Amino acid sequence: WQDAQPRAAKRHLAFAALRQVPVGVTVTAGNSSERAQARHLVQPGGFYVCDRGYVDYDLFTEWQALPCSFIVRVQNNAAYEVAQERPLSAAARAAGVTSDVVLQRLGTAHHRPCAAQPLRVVRVTTDQRHADGTSVELVLVTNRVDLDAELIALAYRYRWTVELFFRWFKCTLGCRHLLSHSENGVQLQVYMALIASLLISLWVGR
């Protein structure tokens, strides 16, 4: 909610991509911070894949301290200092990986060097095109230095399953239109729809 006229709500969802079920949700005003809500939804031991809306270098430090694993897409012009360049396997190249580096520093020179657990940047080209015809490139920051680069690229692809869930949530579960315009009413509708979604998953097994 911004004022009496432009009223909006935002649903922040933690979604288990492999199990295809929601595992956490908060409902806030439409202009609330996604990064602030991520601090409530992320749990120790989890593996989180996020888009550019969650880029916050301090948040990365907090997630490492939990600890949890993460892959986050950053802007293509993100500044970083390379400590080590890793060789690319044939499988990584086939997955579109063009670069795999361990970082000395994420950010410009005024940022702190990476902590004891290093960060890594994997760059991946996609089939999508910019208006000028060049390929869209993903710049992925992760603290999982043990995974093969092609698995980092694959894990990010799974992030899109949450978009399919949002479509299911709106169309199949009937949440395209709100039953109430009050904050409490919106929360009730979201929670009831998520309960229905989980029950359907239990009944049909997928």
151-165 confidence digits (pLDDT tens): 999 999 988 888 888
- In this model, does residue 1 exceed pLDDT 60? no
Reduced to 3 states, what is the DSSP secondary structure of residue 139?
Answer: strand
pLDDT at residue 176, rounded to an integer: 81
More confident residue, 107 or 81: 81
Q: Mean pLDDT over residues 126-151, rounded?
A: 91
CA distances from 20 to 10, 15, 23, 165 (A): 21, 7, 10, 8
Q: How confident is the model at residue 4 (pLDDT cuts 50, 70, 90)?
A: low
pLDDT average, residue stretch 161-189: 85
Which tokens belong to 66? 């939990």
Residue 2 pLDDT exceeds 80? no
The amino acid at residue 87 is: P
